[in-house]
Chains A and B, each alone.
Chain A
Amino acid sequence: MSYALTTLWHERQRYLTAILAVAFCALLGSVQFGLLLGLFSITSMPVDNSRADIWLGAPKVLGVDLGRPIRESQALARLASHPDIERVEGFLQGFSYWARKDGGQELCMVVGSRLEPGSMGRNTALERYPELAEALTEPGTVVFDESDKEKLGVQKAGDEAEVAGSRVRVVGFVKGAKGLAAPFVFCSLTTARPLLRCFPGQITYALGKVKKGASPEDVVASLRRQYAPAPPKADPLASKDMGALSIQTESQKEAAEENALGQDSQAELSIFTSAEFSRRTRVHWLTKTKGGFALGYAAVLGLMVGAVVTSQTLYSATAASIKEFAVLKAMGIPRWRVSLHVMTLAAWVGIIGIVVAIPAVFSLAAVAEMWGVQMKLEAWLLITVSVVTLFMAIGAGLFALRSLRGVEPALLLR
């Protein structure tokens, strides 16, 4: 066992504060970002709760909730043209306005899909309610999460409301499908069209299932090659000679793309695997709303508090051993060797703090889940938080090294 670890163990009461401070940092970072990811994972819920492997949507779609109408026949045909695609179906999603009985209006997110068992777009939240899925096949019927009842001004199944001027009847409620800002309203494709003011023959997405053994990534890559963005029409020279000479400013490119889109909005479609589209949706909202920054600031503050406490604990612990270090210095032991010892102590404080934090993070996640709050603790998040916390502890150790400046062997002589 290293001397640092021995010291840590035998002086654990002294170092406990620093270990807890580090654990607090790791906990705060993991919980805050876990909550944030959990919160924004709601935005990608229709993708995550689907059975589709591939999503095909309007050009440059930023997230699943920001889709635009595309031609159903063309989109489904393009997707189905790939030999590894087993089946395809349409999907509708978009924001609309829910008119409450009391006259108020609420933003809602209409999700229209096929409803038969095994269909790709049917939200898995409906799996536990086969009778509701059955009831939704009747045009003009909708369901939503029971926690959104109050928001949408609905008391019970059978109540009626108006969405985008079309009358709808609520046939029941589900659990685990709560929206972020706008409640999710689930219905059939037929019901969804008027609610989203979509023309017949238009959908928001075409969903595809790949054949067994085929890779969705490969299929998407192949489809992207096939339906790759057409060369900018505004600059025929560049399009002809892309390989040899590709001198084009960003603004020229943008103008060219806009032009291309204007001429044929179906020329290039967005094609993603489900995992890609889910991540794209979450990242969009995370960056767009700046919510990540707000929580990020809090996590940085937590890190700073941890750094100060760790640094001060290490400083006072090192200062308490200053006479022992002075003896070593008198004997000619180089300062870097003692500094390395302090840094090793700091690193161990960091590692133990992180080890202490991990079970606490998972316990808090379990408690949050009991309250209906999702905390998404992905491996990359935990690894990132651990690495940042460890660097914080080592940084605190560097700061604590200033206590070694006072090591003066002559002071030991009385």
Chain B
Amino acid sequence: MIQEGTAFSERVWGSDPILQGLHLVRAFGDGGALSRAVDDVSLEVHRGQFVLMMGPSGSGKSTLLAMLSGLLRPDEGRVVCMGEDIWSLNDKEREQFRLDHCGFVFQGYNLFPSLTAREQIELVARWGQGATSAEARDMADALLIRLNLIDKAHLRPPQLSGGEKQRVAIGRALVKAPDLLFADEPTSALDWAHGEEVVKMLRELAKDNGTTVVCVTHDHRLVPFADRLIDLEDGRLKRQSYGFHGVTDQIGHPMQEPGEIQPAIPAKPTLRFRATP
């Protein structure tokens, strides 16, 4: 069953996308070695969605995430986030935009080795939000409780397992209550038990906070948790589909069958879209 994507999105998620990528292009190298990592990709993400961007290595998914999140300037195209064309902002304004609206989780945890789990979260609250030390502590503890890590609040990264470290990293990303959370391969360094735990927590906390999650992964086991899948191949959008997980269904009934294909926003000059019926 092929369904018109825009109509479906509007029915389920509302009409205003929180994030739009329009005809994004990013190339690396020059001359004969020029390689288009992302080649004319357009997409929309709606508020509250848990979006998985998938694809094989080199498909351009991380580059696309970097452009969508305001970390990497596209060669062509625009990114409109919460009504703001983020690449028309200057560096300082874009930094402020990320501070106000964006959280990040990376594959490598990237926690300060000398700080405790609580301090990793407090640090962002204090330096980013200007919270007092008491406020930051309360904010950190509230998140650590939800992350089931309050007993380990005093431990430092070397004393935590990989899954626990990634949960701390999620806490650090969510302490600012961002509108958007960008995650790059958050489970690839974890075994499945820990990976599942992390992705469940990420999804639950994001839903509770009303945070939209854009997650890059090549781990197909995350698909059941996604509201939406975006497949990339060779830098181009291969297909968009809605995952197993119900969009608004809190009791596990999918609102739509898996694998339903959404056409992408028409590309320039022609749609490069290889849908499989």
Binding site for B on A (CB under 8 A): 3, 6-7, 9-11, 321, 323-324, 326-334, 337-338, 409-410, 412-414
A64-B19 Cα distance, complex, nearest whole Å: 84
The answer on a CB contact under 8 Å between A413 and B63 is yes
B95 CB contacts on chain A under 8 angstroms: 329, 332, 334
Known contacts being A328-B124, A333-B124, is A10 close to B113, with CB within 8 Å?
Answer: yes
The answer on a CB contact under 8 Å between B110 and A323 is yes
The answer on a CB contact under 8 Å between A331 and B124 is yes
A271-B95 Cα distance, complex, nearest whole Å: 68
Contact partner, B173, options A324, A331, A338, A414, Cβ 8 Å? A331
A330-B184 Cα distance, complex, nearest whole Å: 13
B71 CB contacts on chain A under 8 angstroms: 330, 409-410, 413
Task: Indicate whether B8 reaches chain A with its CB closer than 8 angstroms.
Answer: no
A324 CB contacts on chain B under 8 angstroms: 110-112
Task: Indicate whether B97 reaches chain A with its CB closer than 8 angstroms.
Answer: yes
A338-B95 Cα distance, complex, nearest whole Å: 14
22 intermolecular pairs with C-beta atoms under 8 Å apart: A6-B115, A6-B119, A7-B115, A11-B114, A321-B112, A328-B127, A328-B128, A329-B95, A330-B98, A330-B102, A331-B103, A331-B104, A332-B95, A332-B98, A332-B102, A334-B95, A412-B104, A412-B106, A413-B62, A413-B63, A413-B66, A414-B184
Q: How far is the CB of A194 from chain B (nearest CB, A)?
A: 76
The answer on a CB contact under 8 Å between B62 and A414 is yes
Q: Which residue of A lies closest to B94 (CB)?
A: A332
Q: Which residue of A lies closest to B63 (CB)?
A: A413
The answer on a CB contact under 8 Å between A3 and B115 is yes
B65 CB contacts on chain A under 8 angstroms: 413
Q: How many residue pairs bridge A and B at CB < 8 Å? A: 85
Q: Which residue of A lies closest to B65 (CB)?
A: A413
The answer on a CB contact under 8 Å between A3 and B119 is yes
The answer on a CB contact under 8 Å between A10 and B110 is no
Q: Which residue of A lies closest to B130 (CB)?
A: A337
The answer on a CB contact under 8 Å between B114 and A10 is yes
A3-B2 Cα distance, complex, nearest whole Å: 54
Q: How far is the CB of A17 from chain B (nearest CB, A)?
A: 17
Q: Which residue of A lies closest to B173 (CB)?
A: A331
The answer on a CB contact under 8 Å between A332 and B99 is yes
Known contacts being A331-B176, A409-B71, is A323 close to B114, with CB within 8 Å?
Answer: no
A409 CB contacts on chain B under 8 angstroms: 71, 104
B185 CB contacts on chain A under 8 angstroms: 414
